[in-house]
Amino acid sequence: MTYEKYSASGNDFVIFHSFIKKDYSQEAIKLCDRNEGIGADGLIVLVPNCDYDFEWLFYNSDGSNAAMCGNGTRACAHYAYTNGLASSNMKFLTGAGTIESIVDGNIVETQLTKPVLIKDEFEEDGFVWYLVDTGVPHLVTIVNDLEKYDYDLASKMRYKYNANVNFAKIENSKIYVRTYERGVEGETLACGTGMAACFLRANNLGLVENITNVYPKSNEELTLTKKDETLYFKGAVKKVFTTSIN
């Protein structure tokens, strides 16, 4: 099998395509292992779907399924385009619904699925939280210092609410984010749907404009745009390498 490793804003993925739609969770565990595998936050498998350019199967590094991954959609779209599986303007099916992406060189913009509010503003453990589904559920708290990111608290909140956990700081009309991701069970360098959730929360509070630059822990610049109730997520992706495993 031939695999490609991609990085999107610090999120890394192993990607391949297959004609066979099946459970690849064990492959995800092996391939994503950073000591004995290729090493990645997640595995993406592209399979045929007669109604779309393709369908994706997405797995976290622990083998669990995820309906959606913002950075993953951008890496996946670039892979599909460069491997001749789709045109530069494509539609594909995820567990969260239809995703539209546009590839322009190494820049990819994805139209995310419609966000759904799960729980409005509430207080817990000294922070004000907001729970929204931007493809997968995300807790968001806005802080004045990202050093307030608390790993133990994030882990606790992740299991209590079965959601990813984001700490966001607004500075000079830009958003800086740190995210604890379920399935990885730790902080990652970036989370696309997490950045989208933070942007939506800040935008709803009137703290940022409808087009805003967002920076995850990797400090790579991404752009979040809100048009009506639709969110668009744009930034660079990089193919790290291609490898074959017998």
Is residue 32 flagged as an active site residue? no
Number of H helices, E strands in the chain: 4, 17
The CA distance from 76 to 87, in Å, is 13
The tokens for 230 are 């639709």
| Contact residues for 157 (Cβ-Cβ < 8 A; gap 6+) | 124, 125, 129, 139, 163, 165
Output b/e per residue, 155-167; b: 16+ Cβ within 10 A: bebbeebebbbbb
DSSP string, 43-87: EEEEE--TTSSEEEEEEETTS-B-S--HHHHHHHHHHHHHTTSS-
Residue 181 counted as an annotated binding residue: yes
Q: Is the dihedral of CA 55, 34, 242, 178 positive or negative?
A: positive
Q: Which of 32, 69, 76, 198 is catalytic?
A: 69
Residue 35 counted as an annotated binding residue: no
Residue 11 counted as an annotated binding residue: yes
Is residue 191 flagged as an active site residue? yes
Residue 98 counted as an annotated binding residue: no
Q: Which of 32, 76, 191, 198 is catalytic?
A: 191
Residue 223 counted as an annotated binding residue: no
The CA distance from 213 to 46, in Å, is 30
Residue 178 counted as an annotated binding residue: no
Residue 220 counted as an annotated binding residue: no
The CA distance from 8 to 38, in Å, is 16
Q: What angle do CA 140, 144, 149 make, to 5 degrees?
A: 55
Helix (H, G, I), strand (E, B) or coil at 218: coil
Q: Which residues are designated catalytic? A: 69, 191
Q: Which residues contribute to the annotated binding site for substrate? A: 11, 60, 70-71, 164, 181-182, 192-193
Residue positions forming the annotated binding site: 11, 60, 70-71, 164, 181-182, 192-193
